[in-house]
Amino acid sequence: MEPNTNKGEVVREFPHLFRAYKDGSIERLLGTETTPAGIDPTTAVESKDVTINPQTNVAVRLYLPSAASSSSQKLPILVYIHGGAFCVCTPFNPAYHSHLNTVCAGANVIVASVHYRLAPEHPLPAGYNDAWEAFLWVASHATGAGPEPWLNAHGDPENVFIAGDSAGGNIAHNVVMRGTAEGFAGLSLQGMVLLHPFFGNDKKDELVAYLYPTYEGPSNMMIHAPLDPKLSDLACPRLLIFVSENDFLKDRGCSYYEALKKTGWKGEVEKVEFPGEDHVFHLLQPSKQNALDLVQQFIAFLKQTPSTT
C-alpha cells in the first residue's frame, strides 16, 4: 500500500501495521475491516456493542448464545482481548467476530470482547488500563444489578474466564496480575487462555519502544512477564497456552510456560503446539483442520467444571 500523500510526510512506518505522519495522523495498514453486530446465521449467536466509557470509547462487543433465552441457567463469562501488536485491529474485525461467534456457541458462554484504545495515538499503558476498566465493568454485574441486562440475567460471576491472542494475550495476563494484586471485584476467575501470546525477549523491540514511551526494557514486567518475580502469585487456577511451530512468537509463549512451572505457581498449565502453523493461523485460516482443532480445545477448556476452592 502506497503512503497517503494527502497526509504529508511519513515520520515513522512499521510495515504491515501503520504509518505515522508528521501531522500526527496514523494510517493503519491492517485490521481496518469491520462487521456489524447482530444475529449470526451460522451459530444463531446474538451480538451487540456496548460503550463502557464515552470519554475514551472503551467498549465491548457482547455475544449471547441462542440457548440462553430459553434457559434460566447462568452461563460462564469469557472476557476476550484481541491482538494486533497493541496498534491494529478491533473486536469488530470479521475474523474476531466469526471466531467468537463459534466459541460462544460451542462453549455456551457469554463473551465480552474488549475494545481498547490503540497505540500510538493512545500510548501504552492505555490499552492495559482500558482492558482493566472493561473487566471491572463486567464485574459490576456480579450482584445482578449492573448496567447490562444480558450479564445480569445470564452471566455467572463464579465462572469467569479471560483469553487473548498475541498482544491481547499479554494484556490478558496483565489483567489477571492486576486482579491478583487488587482483587477481581466479585468475579471468580476459573481460567485463562493465551493464544500465541506476545511477551518481550532479550532483543530490543523498536515497535514496543515506539508504542510505550515509558518502556524501560526487560525491567518492565508488563512486557517481560516471564521475568516477573511476582509471577508465582498469578491468581488463576488453570491456564491453556497455544503456540505454533512457525510462529515468530513461539519461544515467547514457551518461555512464559516454563517460567510459570519454575516459579512454584500453584495452578495447572497446559501448552499445546501446532506443527507447521504460523502466528494466529486459526484466525487467518479458520476452516483448516488445525484451526478447527484449536477452537475445539479452547471450547473444551471453557466447558470444564469450575473449581470449588
Active-site residue, from 99, 173, 279, 282: 279
Query: Which amino acid would we find at residue 12?
Result: R
Cβ(52)–Cβ(59) below 8 Å: yes
Query: Which cell goes with 60?
Result: 465491548
What is the rounded distance in angstroms from the CA atom of residue 295 to the CA atom of residue 309? 27
What is the rounded distance in angstroms from the CA atom of residue 36 to the CA atom of residue 66? 18
Query: Which cell goes with 73?
Result: 441457567
Cβ(98)–Cβ(180) below 8 Å: no
Cβ(244)–Cβ(264) below 8 Å: no
Task: With CA atoms as reference, report the closest residue to 127 among 139, 115, 140.
Answer: 115
What is the rounded distance in angstroms from the CA atom of residue 184 to the CA atom of residue 179? 5
Would you call 228 a catalytic residue per the annotation?
no
Cβ(133)–Cβ(58) below 8 Å: yes
Active-site residue, from 154, 166, 196, 228: 166
Rg (CA), the chain: 19
Would you call 166 a catalytic residue per the annotation?
yes
Cβ(176)–Cβ(234) below 8 Å: yes
Contacts 24+ apart (CB under 8 A), 149-156: 150/48, 150/62, 150/64, 150/68, 150/110, 151/62, 151/77, 151/110, 151/112, 154/64, 154/68, 154/74, 154/75, 154/110, 155/74, 155/75, 155/77, 155/110, 156/74, 156/75, 156/76, 156/77
Instruction: Tally helices (H) and strands (E) across the chain.
Output: 8, 11
What is the rounded distance in angstroms from the CA atom of residue 115 to the CA atom of residue 60? 5
Active-site residue, from 156, 165, 228, 247: 247
Q: Which residues are catalytic?
A: 166, 247, 279
